[in-house]
Amino acid sequence: MRHVEDVVVGRLLGLCLGLCLTAYPAVEMDFHLPFEKYKLPNGLRVILSRDTTVPVAAVYAIYDVGSRTEEKGREGFALLCERLAAEASRDSVEPKVDNLERKGAAHPDYTEFYGATPSNELGLALWLESNRMHGLALTEEKLKTAREAMQQEAHSFDGQPYRKALSEQWPALISINNDVTSDDPNAATAADVSKFFNTWYAPNNAVLIISGDFTIAEAKKMVEQYFAGIPSQPQPLRPHPVEPARAASKTVTVHDEYARVPAVIVGWPAPKRHSADWYALDMLDALLTGGRGSRLDREVMNGRQSVLQIEANLGWPSSAPMDFKDPGYYAAMLIHKPAFSAQDIVDQYQQVIDAVAATGVDSLELKRAKALLRLDKANSLQTALERARLLGIFELLDGDPGLIDRDFAARLAVTSDQIQAAAKKYLTSARRDVMVIEVK
């Protein structure tokens, strides 16, 4: 259903892009997303954000459980429960509606279920989500089928280049809280999984967001009808991941039999979420990697012509900047030409960062980065589903959906001096971790 909104707003985005690329001041605009927040007696937090521009409504449910929440012996349960929730809900037969598609995903710090629908199907979307929250009608046979499906999916990715490095080896290198285990918890019984689901996927551990074209009064009535009767659960004990003080940087070399081009991953522990330094690093990333004309594009991709592709951000590779709780990480992957050694690439990358630490950035370069961020913000807020997602993430991770406005303003308030200071303090060779990915 996101295609419905994309068609409607495509011309607006094209116009915005043209303005952004021709004159930076043209995108000097403010963003504000109105919403109403309240809580049901069972603890379910509800956020309503109305916008009648497009006849589409999005329903987004986010639960405070992810891979970093799992207890020892329960690794893989969040992913398994996310997969089971659609197929093993308490009603075995669900209506099939051409215009309604619900999806889900398990992240390190949360699990989400989402979808967009024509406005007149909002009630059905809410019923489907409440049906999921009521619990799993799980049998050993259904659990076995889900395990087999997950195994098949995992095997389908086995031959992809860099996959093992990104999903297993790099997370294990940078954090004691990323104890990567099998995504197939074979020892679990249906009773084990149902208990985990009932504990963590309860209304008092969730946020429900409705965004788009609807009436507030009608939405509240449907939320009450479908969700108020779901009982809350005792609050589970939640782990609080803490990383030990860094004694030294780490460098490892791994071999990838499927990759045809070598790569390096370089990263640093990040400052506290929503701190001034955190925003400064996010802006620095935009300066370094923000498309054509960025520092790395000019100096290592086109200048030295050593790097073929770069991916980087706060939270990379499993998260976007706003998607993770502390402790966080800033990392980049640089796929490079075989004629250059891994150390060449690490040195070139560090030199670009050190130049920022030494001399800062000029005003035009900073304006360009901020213009790109404004464009990205304008793009993301065009769809009801993305607005719902951002509101839900800020509520779940920060307890404040209003950060959707203030977080962006804080990014745009970052100065050249702050960027320079953050590069000097955080992105040093003494603090960095490096993974060299070699090919045959």
Asked if residue 62 has pLDDT above 90, the reply is yes
Dihedral sign from CA coordinates of 426, 341, 307, 296: positive
Question: Which of the two residues, 238 and 108, has the higher pLDDT score?
Answer: 108
Mean local confidence (pLDDT), 227-254: 86
Structure tokens at 296: 């790395």
**Range with lowest mean pLDDT among 18-22, 88-92, 246-250:** 18-22
| Residue with tokens 């799993």, as numbered in its chain | 136
pLDDT of residue 185: 58
pLDDT of residue 25: 41
Structure tokens at 306: 């050593």
Confidence band for 86, pLDDT divided at 50, 70 and 90: low
Mean local confidence (pLDDT), 318-325: 88
Question: What domains sit in the chain, N to C, each tagged with a CATH number?
Answer: 2-8+31-227 (3.30.830.10), 250-439 (3.30.830.10)
Asked if residue 187 has pLDDT above 90, the reply is no
- Tens digit of each residue's pLDDT (9 = 90 or more) over 390-414: 999 999 999 999 999 899 899 999 9
The answer to whether the CB of 164 falls within 8 A of the CB of 172 is no
Mean local confidence (pLDDT), 239-251: 78
b/e map 306-337, b = 16+ CB within 10 Å: bbeebebbbbbbbbebbbbbbbbbbbbbbbbe
27's CB contacts (< 8 A; 6+ apart) are 16, 19, 20, 371, 374, 375, 378
pLDDT of residue 90: 52
Dihedral sign from CA coordinates of 379, 380, 381, 386: positive
pLDDT of residue 177: 62
Confidence band for 156, pLDDT divided at 50, 70 and 90: confident
Q: Is 182 exposed, middle or buried (0-12, 13-18, 19+ CB in 10 A)?
A: exposed
Q: What is the pTM of this model?
A: 0.87
Report the chain's mean pLDDT, rounded to a whole number.
Answer: 86
How many other C-beta atoms are found inside a 10 Å radius of the C-beta of residue 60? 26
Share of the chain above pLDDT 70, in %: 86
Confidence band for 89, pLDDT divided at 50, 70 and 90: low
